[in-house]
Amino acid sequence: MTNAASTATQPGRSATSEAVRRLPEYLMIWVPLLLSAAHLISFSIWTIWISFTPSTLIPVSGWVGLRNYTAVLASRNWQIAFDNLLLFGIAFVLLSLITGLLLAILLDQRIRGENVLRTIFLYPLAVSFVVTGTVWSWLLNPGIGIEKLAHDLGWTAFHFDWLVNRDMAIWTIVIAAIWQSSGFAMALFLAGLRSVDADIIKAAQIDGAGPIRTYWRVILPTLWPITITVVVIQLQFAISAFDLVRALTNGGPGIATQLPALVVYDLMFQRSQLGRGAAAAVLMLLILLAVLLPYAAWRYVQRRQANHA
Amino acid sequence: MRDRSFTPGRILIYLVVTLFAAGYLAPLVVVVLNSLRTNEEIAQGSMIGWPQHLAWGNYALAWSGFCVAETCSGIRPYMLNSALITIPATIVSTLLGAVAGYAVSLWRFRGDNWIYGIVTLGLFLPQQMRLLPWTIVLRDIGLINTLTGLVLIHTIQGLSFTVLFCRNYYIAIPHELIRAARIDGAGFFRIFWRIILPLSSPILIVTVIWQFTHIWNEFLFGVTFTTGQQQPVTAALIALSAAVADIPQHGVQSAAVIIAALPTLLIYLFGGRYFVRGLTAGAVK
């Protein structure tokens, strides 16, 4: 502690009693920080270690090399989960970006009731994924949801059975996820739009640029850093998505909407395949790192440029 | 700059935002309406419709009479569980985060940047990397399938967020303030109590709202480490949907969903500004 040097020990007090007096301080600083840091490091290392052992029902030591990894990678469950993650990740991120940007641009037009609208677009974020998934599972269920409503209203040719259709079920997760978190993209984009220098916009308008041209050429290019941040955070959510799928489709029909997080849970707690479950968790981490490391590098370059400017 | 008159272009803008708003509100409206319709009424038609008579009884049933698995106590015990997990974990993780955030930002010590860096790793590391170790730790200390166990997990894991929020806020406080207080002989806690805390209400509100929402809505740990009567409401809702799959009771279920979502929705409605600040603070990590 640097403050030990500045706060001189009072005369008549020994160094020991000084340390005792300051014990609560040390405890309050170090215990939570060290608990947090230590559990993150040790838990991660432990899971990585288990992924190389033949553990099934209980953790055991031993070394099986990459056998758990090859088993997971070769399983149909994981292959479907990975393909789904690619589709879900890309579709969800792109569509929520487009929706969020569109909403932000519309709200940026000085419209009446902006506060109310912003509140409406953001409230799904306050609701749990379990609730979101449950509600959308009702709406999208052909027997009781939108399809049934259309049939009751006399439109019997209407067909919307994605929830129970193997090929389309993953899109129901995309729909619910967009409903849940496009407001987040909107909030960040709106903050970005509002921070664009008004003088630059005015200058563009004086040069005769119309609103669309002004947005396209002047305003939107400034949103790149925000866009990248939104993409990374939404991808992070997509990679670890669990509750939403559990509540909406529970991975079904069959295993059509399987995602990596569900595979991990299934291996660890339903099939008692601890080694394979840990391997699947490490694979999730690797997918995440494939997104986060380039982002961290980009942030680093940005910061350096900002410092040099 | 941009005018406020009603040109065709602006009418189009209003039309589009209204449509979007309707789309965002629709699921909430549907559930609220369903929570007031009888199960028979829903079964005859679809989930989407006006209540014929207001079936307020759904709420009473969802709250204290509905059966989840073999127990017919509604979602009341699970709401209580969630409250008993969320409130202490929110308070403790926020307080510890404030002290630790203050220590790493204003009271520099050897290795503080390293520790802080590792703690913020918790924002990125997938929860799945920590599921098995938590299982073992909770079992060894006898806290598996207890509310205390979940409080412990959420407190420790929550530190990643609370330390980050508080540190980013405290780093902007002038160091001279601290230096002057130290010259006057004030110690770590005195400075925290007298100088830092009085300045902290904006960030503490953000942190509390963020932690409360996160912990209340959390599902993975709840479903992994607790069963039956010990589950938080998110896990109970899933069990409830599975339990009634044969005889649908969508009216009562809708009421249960509304009740379970109410605490965080209310916090959002009354603290929306701080909620959004938490979102964006979490985004710019």
Could you please report the per-residue DSSP string of A145-177? SHHHHHHHTT-TT----GGG-TTTHHHHHHHHH
Q: How many CA atoms lie within 13 A of A212 on its CB side?
A: 1
CB contact under 8 A, B17 and A103: yes
Beta bridge partners of B71: B68
- pLDDT number for residue B217: 97
Q: Alpha-carbon distance B60 to B138, whole Å? A: 35
Residue A123 has φ and ψ, to the nearest 5°, of -60, -30
Summarize the confidence of residues B147-156 as an average pLDDT: 97
**pLDDT at A8 exceeding the cut of 80:** no
A24 lies within 8 A of chain B by CB: yes
pLDDT, position B285: 47
Distant-in-sequence, close-in-space partners of B282: CB < 8 Å, separation ≥ 6: B123, B161, B210
Considering only the beta carbons, identify the residue of B30, B187, B217 that sits closest to A7.
Answer: B187
| Interchain contact, B189 vs A25, CB within 8 Å | yes
3-state secondary structure B68-101: ECCECCCCHHHHHHHHHHHHHHHHHHHHHHHHHH
How far are the Cα atoms of A233, B41, B70, B248 from residue B63, in angstroms, in the given order?
36, 21, 16, 17
* Cis preceding linkage at A253, omega within 30: yes
Q: For residue A13, what pLDDT band results from cuts at 50, 70 and 90? A: low
What pLDDT, on the 0 to 100 scale, is given for residue A63?
92
pLDDT of residue B284: 58
Q: Which residue has the higher pLDDT, B35 or A24?
A: B35
- Span B115-135, pLDDT tens digits: 999 999 999 999 999 999 999
Q: Is the ipTM of this complex over 0.90?
A: yes
CA distance A128 to chain B (A): 5
Residue type, A2: T
A149 touches chain B (CB under 8 A): yes
**Cα distances (angstroms) measured from residue A25 to each of A20, A32, A293, B169, B187:** 10, 12, 36, 21, 9
Cβ pair B56, B254 in contact under 8 A: no
Residue of B20, B213, B223 lying closest to A103 (CB–CB): B20
- Interchain pair B133, A42: CB under 8 A: yes
Q: How far apart are CA A169 and CA B239, in angstroms?
A: 22
> For B238-260, how does the pLDDT look when each residue is reduced to its tens digit (9 = 90+)?
988 776 656 778 899 999 999 99
Beta bridge partners of B68: B71
In this prediction, residue A115 carries a pLDDT of: 93
Chain A closest-CA separation from residue B200 CA (Å) = 18
- Give the pLDDT score at A241: 95
Q: A139 and B103: CB-CB below 8 Å?
A: no
* Contact yes or no for B107 and A125 at CB 8 A: no
- pLDDT for A12: 52
Asked if B162 contacts B98 with a C-beta cutoff of 8 angstroms, the reply is yes
Residue A154 reports pLDDT greater than 90:
no
Residue A117: pLDDT above 90? Answer: yes
Angstrom distance (rounded) from CA A251 to CA A64: 30
| Residue A264 pLDDT level (bands cut at 50, 70, 90) | very high
Q: What is the pLDDT of residue B246?
A: 63
Residues B132, A50: C-beta atoms closer than 8 Å: yes
Highest mean pLDDT among A82-86, A190-194, B275-279: A82-86
For residue range B263-282, what is the model confidence (pLDDT) as tens digits? 999 999 999 899 988 888 77
pLDDT at A11: 52
What is the end-to-end Cα distance of chain B in Å, rounded? 34
pLDDT score recorded for residue B69: 64
Q: Take residue B85 and report the two structure tokens written for it.
A: 């997990």
Residue from the list A37, A132, A284 with its beta carbon closest to the beta carbon of B119: A37
In the stretch 89-108 of chain A, residues with CB closer than 8 A to chain B read 103, 106-107
Query: Cα dist. A48→A45, A68, A286 in Å?
Result: 5, 11, 11
| pLDDT single digits (tens) A129-150 | 999 999 999 999 888 889 988 9
Residue A204: the pLDDT is 86
In this prediction, residue A202 has a pLDDT band, given cuts at 50, 70 and 90, of: confident
Whether residue A99 contacts residue A107, with contact meaning beta carbons closer than 8 Å, is answered with no
Q: A268 vs B131: CB contact, 8 Å cut-off?
A: yes
